[in-house]
């Protein structure tokens, strides 16, 4: 089949590469416009744009799919189907019916669970033990279209959202190609999503990633892992923001004083922080304006006073 691929970040690359290696023909790529990234805020093309251009595939970078010329470009490419993997923008209704097989989205959850922009992050924060990926036909509703294929994936106890998304992006790429193979053979019957079990996964904003130390240790642990690597969990120390990498819940030793929520206790090799239940052990931290470092190294530099706390 002739395929137009719509995707933007690195997580979309396994799917693009799998389609390029398949029997299907990628005739064009849609991706988000070049954006500023990195500490120098330089304008860079998206990972998908770089990969597509390296493969000699025509690329379009409209700010919106409603923009003038987008429909004409799609009609010129004449796709049988459009693939959508983390594209980052909505497909307007007037374009949905343009390819004969529609727009097929690879979504990283077991729909109807976690509809929305951040399904993997929400699955980790909720403590899900099983998740997965589905291919489904886009329609006007938010991730409500009929399902074409699905796979399951175990959420490991120490997974960050980055770890989980990396595995799903690879297994999901194979699912996407298998879906297109079956569509071409006419073997797929779209399956409506069940009306029960719906949950939403909106984008994680920076303020959502702020650690509330009054919450139980397991909730702090899940929040930090769910926000790693993006947008990054954070707290404040002496009035300045500090980014946290994954933490580890620990059992409080019998006879030791209980740490208050946010209270920091620094030893030679570890730094513990109080929560609403038992403490968590800090892993790596990134103070404002500095590089990532081990928590013990940070503590040796700032020398926390007895009873001193993160501000939350």
Q: How many C-beta atoms surround the C-beta of residue 62 within 10 A?
A: 16
At 87 the three-state DSSP class reads coil
> Can you tell me the distance from the alpha carbon of 150 to that of 107, in angstroms, rounded to the nearest whole number?
9
Closest to 26 (Cα-Cα) out of 49, 5, 47, 56? 5
For residue 6, the cross-strand partners are 30, 84
Angle between helices 161-185 and 13-20 (to 10 degrees): 30
- Any idea which residue has 């931290």 for tokens? 285
Q: Is there a binding annotation on residue 161?
A: no
Q: Is there a binding annotation on residue 112?
A: yes
Q: What are phi and psi of 145, to 5 degrees?
A: -70, 165
Instruction: Enter the tokens of residue 275.
Output: 């929560």
Annotated binding-site residues read 109-112
Annotated binding-site residues for (6S)-5,6,7,8-tetrahydrofolate read 109-112
């Amino acid at each position: 089949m002739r395929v137009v691929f719509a995707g933007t970040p690195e997580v979309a690359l396994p799917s693009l590469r799998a389609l390029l290696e398949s029997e299907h023909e990628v005739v064009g790529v849609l991706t988000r416009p070049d954006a500023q990234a990195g500490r120098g805020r330089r304008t860079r093309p998206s990972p998908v744009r770089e990969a597509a251009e390296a493969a000699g595939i025509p690329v379009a970078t409209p700010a919106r799919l409603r923009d003038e010329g987008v429909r004409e470009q799609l009609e010129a490419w004449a796709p049988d189907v459009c693939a959508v993997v983390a594209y980052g923008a909505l497909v307007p209704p007037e374009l949905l019916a343009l390819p004969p097989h529609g727009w097929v989205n690879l979504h990283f959850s077991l729909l109807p669970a976690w509809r929305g922009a951040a399904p993997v992050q929400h699955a980790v924060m909720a403590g899900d033990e099983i998740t997965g990926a589905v291919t489904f036909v886009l329609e006007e509703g938010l991730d409500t279209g009929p399902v074409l294929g699905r796979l399951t994936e175990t959420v490991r106890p120490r997974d960050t959202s980055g770890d989980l998304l990396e595995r799903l992006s690879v297994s999901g790429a194979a699912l996407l190609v298998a879906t297109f193979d079956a569509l071409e053979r006419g073997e797929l019957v779209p399956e409506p999503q069940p009306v029960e079990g719906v949950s939403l996964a909106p984008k994680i904003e920076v303020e959502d990633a702020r650690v509330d130390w009054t919450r139980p240790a397991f909730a702090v642990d899940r929040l930090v892992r769910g926000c790693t690597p993006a947008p990054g969990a954070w707290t404040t120390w002496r009035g300045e923001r500090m980014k946290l990498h994954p933490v580890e819940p620990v059992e409080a030793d019998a006879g030791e004083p209980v740490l208050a929520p946010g209270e920091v206790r620094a030893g030679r090799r570890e730094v513990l922080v109080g929560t609403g239940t038992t403490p968590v052990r800090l892993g790596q931290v990134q103070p404002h304006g500095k590089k990532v470092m081990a928590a013990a190294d940070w503590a040796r530099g700032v020398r926390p006073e007895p009873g001193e706390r993160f501000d939350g």
